[in-house]
């Protein structure tokens, strides 16, 4: 090759590597099952990123997954770059706690912010005879998908109630939508689901399968909060679902938007500013769970892992105080 054409090839390579022609960053956002709230929220976030940040070389898509525990691990191994995850699971993962993460802490995850509360829904099949947690013994119970946050929280609730999955006739796993169908067909007796209020799966369970809520006793809620301070006492207000006449006391966590530590600061800053400030009304319109609860001023409440420095920059600019647990780590 002549000297001149060699020079041109080098120039082209430089243009490509500096991102002149190609997208610089592609972010796959891990969510949960299609009938949950993570999936529509993650899809909405990806759409906003593609609409407003493609000009900056940032593109995204959403992927349906088993849920929080899968998501944090998949960020660590590079299958995902961002995700929604429960704040109890992010805490267990980052600190290497519980059977799932013991000896395998997940240090690659960073916080962007908490988005909305998730409620533990305990639903039982009409005719199952289940009134209390103790009645679950010998029953077939859906305890969450493989890799879900649902299973993590459900295990903690069982422990607090002095029960184990071994006390059940069967601990059933799979997609939440399939669990609702099993409930409807009388093939399982109850289901546990940690999800934002108003998910499609819970609407179907209450409206079509006519499942009823089992309240979580206050002493169990208190035990959980004493042991794990990021659990909160919450109420699923009466009327959240058709035919639900009573408010339901239960335990709550926060849905958190998390990202890999390897995503550059300016990319995370742009994403956080787009969603939480510049287009916050559009962001909140993605789903009623966000619309009801999201506010950037509360987005550090319940964050249990360090912030990504790119997100921390935004909170600093807004004058929002960063709690110790959320202090950014590179
Ligand atoms: N909180 C659930 C989990 O981590 C997912 C809920 C949803 O998909 O909205 O397993």
Convert the pLDDT of each residue in 241-286 to its tens digit: 998 999 999 999 999 999 999 999 999 999 999 999 999 999 999 9
Atom of ligand 1 nearest to the CA of 85: 4
Q: Which of 71, 150, 231 to mutate to test the pocket of ligand 1 (most atoms within 8 A of CB)?
A: 150
Of residues 119 and 3, more confidence is placed in: 119
Rounded Cα distance between 160 and 162, Å, is: 6
Question: How much distance in Å is there from the Cα of 14 to the middle of ligand 1?
Answer: 42
- Which pLDDT tens digit goes with each residue over 171-198? 999 999 999 999 999 999 999 999 999 8
Same domain, 106 and 232: no
Q: What is the mean pLDDT of the chain?
A: 93
Same domain, 215 and 280: no
Q: How far is the CA of 6 from the centre of ligand 1 (A)?
A: 53
Atom 3 (ligand 1): residue with closest C-alpha? 149
Q: CA torsion 273→275→278→282, rounded to 10°?
A: 180
pLDDT digits (tens, 9 = 90+) for 40-77: 999 999 999 999 999 999 999 999 999 999 999 999 99
Query: SS3 of 61, please?
Result: strand
C-alpha separations of 190 from 26, 130, 149, 169, 179 in Å: 40, 8, 17, 12, 9
Output the pLDDT for position 5. Answer: 53
Q: What residue owns the CA closest to ligand 1's atom 6?
A: 195
The residue out of 253, 288, 312 marking a domain boundary is 253
For residue 284, give the 3-state DSSP assignment: helix
Do 138 and 247 belong to one domain?
yes
Ligand 1: residue of 194, 201, 202, 253 to mutate (most ligand atoms within 8 A of CB) is 194
Query: What's the pLDDT band for 1 if we cut at 50, 70, 90?
Result: very low
Ligand 1 atom closest to residue 66's alpha carbon, by position in its atom list = 10
How far is ligand 1, taken at its centre, from the CA of residue 17, in Å? 37
- Residue 52 Cα to ligand 1 midpoint, Å, equals 27
How far apart are the CA of 151 and the centre of ligand 1, in A? Answer: 10
The count of C-alpha atoms lying within 13 angstroms of the C-alpha of 252, restricted to the half-sphere facing its C-beta, is 19
How many Å lie between the centroid of ligand 1 and the Cα of residue 308? 22
What's 208's domain CATH number? 3.40.190.10
Q: What residue ranges line ligand 1, CB within 6 angstroms?
A: 32-33, 36-39, 67-68, 86, 118, 144, 148-150, 194-196, 199
Q: What is the best residue among 37, 38, 199 to mutate for testing ligand 1's pocket, by most ligand atoms within 8 Å of CB?
A: 38
**Tally of domains within the chain:** 2
* pTM across the whole model: 0.92
- 14 vs 262 pLDDT, higher one: 262
Are 162 and 234 within one domain? yes
User: Are 231 and 126 in a shared domain?
Assistant: yes
Backbone phi, psi, residue 290, to 5°: -70, -45
Burial 250-279 (b: 16+ CB within 10 A, else e): bbbbbbbbbbbbebeeebbbbbbbbbbeee
pLDDT value for 243? 84
Instruction: Choose the final residue of a domain: 253, 286, 307.
Output: 253
Are 134 and 214 in a shared domain?
A: yes
159 and 38 in a single domain? The answer is: no
Q: What is the pLDDT of residue 23?
A: 56
Q: What is the pLDDT of residues 211-223, one digit of tens each?
A: 999 999 999 999 9
Q: Rounded distance, CA 148 to CA 174, Å? A: 10
8 A C-beta contact, residue 160 and residue 231: no
Domain residues for the domain of 237 are 119-253
Give the domain-ending residue among 253, 279, 304.
Answer: 253
Candidate of 72, 148, 193, 230 to mutate for ligand 1, largest count of ligand atoms within 8 Å of Cβ: 148
User: Is 214 found in the same domain as 175?
Assistant: yes
Q: Does 187 lie in the same domain as 63?
A: no
């Amino acid at each position: 090759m002549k000297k001149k054409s060699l020079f041109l090839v080098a120039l082209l390579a430089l243009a490509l590597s500096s991102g002149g022609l190609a997208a610089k960053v592609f972010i796959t956002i891990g969510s949960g099952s299609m009938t949950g709230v993570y999936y529509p929220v993650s899809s909405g976030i990806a759409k906003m990123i593609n609409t407003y940040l493609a000009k900056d070389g940032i593109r995204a898509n959403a992927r349906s997954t088993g849920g929080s525990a899968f998501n944090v691990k998949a960020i660590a191994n590079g299958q995902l770059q961002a995700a929604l995850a429960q704040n109890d699971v992010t805490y267990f993962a980052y600190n290497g706690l519980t059977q799932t993460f013991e000896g395998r802490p997940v240090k690659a995850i960073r916080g962007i912010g908490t988005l909305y509360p998730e409620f533990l829904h305990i639903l039982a099949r009409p005719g199952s005879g289940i009134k209390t947690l103790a009645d679950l013994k010998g029953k077939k119970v859906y305890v969450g998908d493989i890799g879900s946050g649902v299973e993590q929280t459900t295990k903690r609730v069982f422990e607090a109630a002095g029960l184990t999955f071994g006390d059940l006739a069967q601990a059933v796993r799979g997609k939440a939508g399939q669990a609702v169908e099993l409930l409807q067909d009388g093939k399982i007796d109850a289901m546990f689901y940690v999800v934002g209020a108003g998910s499609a799966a819970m609407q179907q369970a209450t409206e079509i399968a006519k499942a009823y809520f089992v309240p979580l006793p206050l002493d169990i809620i208190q035990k959980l909060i004493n042991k794990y301070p990021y659990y909160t006492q919450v109420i699923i207000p009466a009327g959240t679902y058709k035919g639900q006449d009573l408010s339901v006391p239960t335990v709550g966590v926060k849905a958190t938007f998390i990202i890999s530590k390897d995503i550059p600061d300016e990319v995370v800053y742009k994403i956080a500013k787009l969603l939480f400030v510049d287009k916050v009304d559009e962001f909140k319109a993605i789903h009623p769970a966000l619309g009801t609860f999201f506010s950037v001023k509360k987005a550090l409440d319940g964050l249990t892992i360090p912030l990504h420095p790119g997100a921390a920059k935004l909170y600093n600019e807004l004058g929002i105080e960063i709690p110790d647990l959320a202090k950014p780590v590179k």
